[in-house]
Structure 1
Amino acid sequence: MKLDLPKKILIYASVTHILNDLYLAIFYPLLPFIADDLDLKYSQIGLIKTVIMGASSMLQFPAGLISDFMSEFWILSIGNIWVGLGVIGISIASSYYLLLILSLIAGLGGGFQHPVASRLVSRTFIKDRLYTSIGVLNFSGDIGKITAPIVVSVVTLKWGWQTCLLAVGIFGVSLTILTLLPINRWVFKHNNLKNIHENNDQIENVKVKTSLFNFTKLMFAGSLDSVVRYTVLTFLPFIFISQGMSIKNTSLVFIILYIGGALGKVFSGKLSDYFPPINIIAITKILTSFSLLAILFIDYKIALLVVFFLGIGLNGTSSVFYGSVARVTDVNKRGKYFGIYYTATEGMGAISPLIFGIISDVFNINVAIYAIFVICLSVIPISYRVNLKN
């Protein structure tokens, strides 16, 4: 089957997203093992994710800005090689503080993927399939996320968390380097991405004037959504551990969560092409908040079923937010605005594990989850203030 250029671009961006999310998501199911090995408190656990995601957010804006002038292919390739080498470095960390330093280095490379790939896809599918294509791109990351706990359950239980990180890092770097030239010829050989609107008659070039006030409201709502997502992903396995689940079984929580999240991303993106996107955000946030609350009060074996629905809501919202960034920004400056959006939202998300880790140490983990419940619901009224009628 012969694929047209837009489909090739979507496949390429999705594959890079799978690898990038595998790199970063591998830490969530590994945190219970790292915490047990290094005897860490909740705040120390949260700081690991804060450092990784905080570092990732630092280069989001520069990467997005550069992508307006430089080939996305090379930016995405450099980013995945960088973070892969960082993951290899973390695998040899012999102390908590060295682990934090190497996490900072690895996280910096992880910031290239989201703004650059989102810009690439959003300017390829301008109008008719915008939310659907962003949903597919977003879904692809969950393939990497689903793979992460499977790898952890297979490798870590037998050889330890360091070996797991080493294997993932070597695999990712090798794959990226070995496929550089074939992918460059397959997708980018005509060097026609700058003129893609003229070369693809299926795409309608829609002019959108950027409203900074509208964009800021969307970014604030997205930032709160990131706070909820990163906090839940960091501490969800510890909720199950506190209820009696063994550490070695916590990978199952992430497998179920990410399967639900993958479906949520695809369907949320698809539905947003046919129904008001803000309504989809409201539905996913209600599902997230009450699923999270239910997990605190029911037996953990039954709660595993609820985790599936939690995943749908928790990760599904992001497809709508990312597609909405494209709806409120000028296509010619979209790399810059995606960079700003991801810097703000992931920056807010990055500090949340540390903050809620401290809350969990001072009070308990349930208090932290109650606070997340309130923040999750607050996303809804803020989102309804965003105008997506462009």
Structure 2
Amino acid sequence: MSLAPDLASPLPTVPDRDPRRTLAAAGLNHALHDGYTDLIYVLLPVWQAEFGLGFAALALLRTLCTGTLAALQIPASHLARGWGARRVLVLGTLMSAGGYALAGLSGGLAGLCIALLLVGAGCSTQHPLASAVIARAYGRSARGPLGTYNFAGDLGKAAVPPVVSLLMTLADWRAALWGVAGAGAAVALAVGLLLPRDPVAREVEPGATPRAVHGPGAATGRTGFRLLVAIGMLDNAARPAFLLYLPFLLGEKGAALPLVGLALSLVFIGGALGKAICGRLGERLGVTRTVILTEAGTAAAILGVIALPLGPALVVLPLLGLLLNGTSSVLYGTVPELAPGGRVEQAFAVFYTFTLGGSALAAPLVYGRLGDLAGPRWAAVASAATALSVVPLMLALSRHLGGAAPRRA
């Protein structure tokens, strides 16, 4: 399959004869990497007990992973120009698996910090490269496959944390991490076999420039993309801000560690459904209405989980996950539409850098400190307020979405 003109990029491209094979490889990799990053939420109470850490320190541990992940998005896309996307994705997966193996071997906080840096560096490779490869493979029809790709990530979130929680009831947390590291090595091998081999770069005439995007992205310039990035930053900040405190909120209600793992699984299962449901909902209601609905619903569901006793709170968690993660699927699918100059790979790298970076900085500097000062409940309330703050920005972005009108039933 040749590169779709509306997703042109100055980078060499991969002629994908079977885009479904590319989607399968990218989805498998996404499931592992998202499971790796959200596994930290299950480990936070364990590390707090073992190392005697406060909430700000726990948020900082998470930031070592997510901050590195965010900072290396653009370097990863540049590295793929010379090495090829497949090689960078395989090496990144092996590095993240090695990070968890090192965490399992570490006997102190310093080793754990180094391990999380490796996990973040390895996971930084897959978002911009896999998203751009899928967008190019499917061309104008990429919004649906990108939603499937994001859905696969939530399957990993729903599977990895509860499995590790169960393993930690049978063995210590270090042994459990060695197991997930072995699974990462197996996924790296599968990605290397499934993802099409990168071809030799095509010759480009001196002075030639990539074809520009035709459609809404060309008309809006950079303003629409900047608004999209700002919305993504707030959405990404609200999600981890709440998940950071969910284990502790449930612990206050009497939940034991296995139940906390199950609760997180309920959130992530709902999130996986949200990726599929909200994508279709966006086609019917439009991007603007869908995002406003999911963000307002997220705020209401967070407040419900805080106020309700344990049983009803567990019932709300799947709906909360659906709303909490559903927005991101709509936003990711809008990146190719608003990519400045049609540079999709660069647009995805910038989008992920700022959205993940903002989340990584907000967790320790804002929500972590707030948790130490006011407690988990008020920090979770702040995450609900963050979700609501998306609404005015989304109204401003709606003027730049030429193809976002709701479809008639």
SS at match of 2:105: coil
What amino acid sits opposite 1:228 in the alignment? Answer: A
Report what 2:59 is aligned to.
46
The answer to whether structure 1 residue 158 and structure 2 residue 170 are counterparts is yes
Question: Identity percentage over the alignment?
Answer: 28
Between 1:303-312 and 1:38-47, the stretch displaced more is 38-47
What amino acid sits opposite 1:335 in the alignment? Answer: E
TM-superposed deviation, 1:247: 2.6
TM-superposed deviation, 1:28: 1.4
The answer to whether structure 1 residue 107 and structure 2 residue 120 are counterparts is yes
Cα distance in 2 for residues equivalent to 1:88 and 1:16: 18
Residue 16 (structure 1) aligned to one of 29, 38, 46: 29
Residue 342 (structure 1) aligned to one of 352, 360, 364: 352
CA contact (8 A) 1:131 1:273 kept: no
Q: Point out where structure 2 has 5 or more consecutive residues left out of the alignment.
A: 1-15, 204-212, 404-409
Report what 2:330 is aligned to.
320
Residues 1:192 and 1:316: Cα distance change in structure 2 (over 3 Å)? farther
Report what 2:3 is aligned to.
none
Number of residue pairs matched?
Answer: 374
Cα distance in 2 for residues equivalent to 1:38 and 1:206: 54
TM-superposed deviation, 1:192: 9.5
Residue 376 (structure 1) aligned to one of 387, 395, 398: 387
Cα distance in 2 for residues equivalent to 1:194 and 1:79: 25
Cα distance in 1 for residues equivalent to 2:184 and 2:83: 23
Return the TM-score normalized by structure 2.
0.86
Q: Give the root-mean-square deviation of aligned CA atoms.
A: 2.3
Report what 2:69 is aligned to.
56
TM-superposed deviation, 1:56: 0.6
Report what 1:71 is aligned to.
84
Return the TM-score normalized by structure 1.
0.90
SS at match of 1:245: coil
Residue 104 (structure 2) aligned to one of 91, 103, 119: 91
CA contact (8 A) 2:279 2:330 kept: yes
Residues 1:254 and 1:192: Cα distance change in structure 2 (over 3 Å)? farther
Cα distance in 1 for residues equivalent to 2:102 and 2:132: 30
The within-5 A match list for 1:1-390 is 5-67=18-80, 71-127=84-140, 129-177=141-189, 179=190, 182-184=193-195, 187-188=196-197, 191=199, 208-209=217-218, 211-329=221-339, 332-354=342-364, 355-386=366-397, 387-389=400-402
Residues 1:324 and 1:258: Cα distance change in structure 2 (over 3 Å)? same
Cα distance in 2 for residues equivalent to 1:115 and 1:181: 17
Cα distance in 2 for residues equivalent to 1:290 and 1:162: 37
Report what 2:9 is aligned to.
none
CA contact (8 A) 1:288 1:310 kept: yes
Superposed CA deviations along residues 204-246 of structure 1, whole A, max 9, x for unmatched, are x956427212111110111011110111122111111122212
What amino acid sits opposite 1:29 in the alignment? Answer: V
Cα distance in 2 for residues equivalent to 1:335 and 1:245: 43
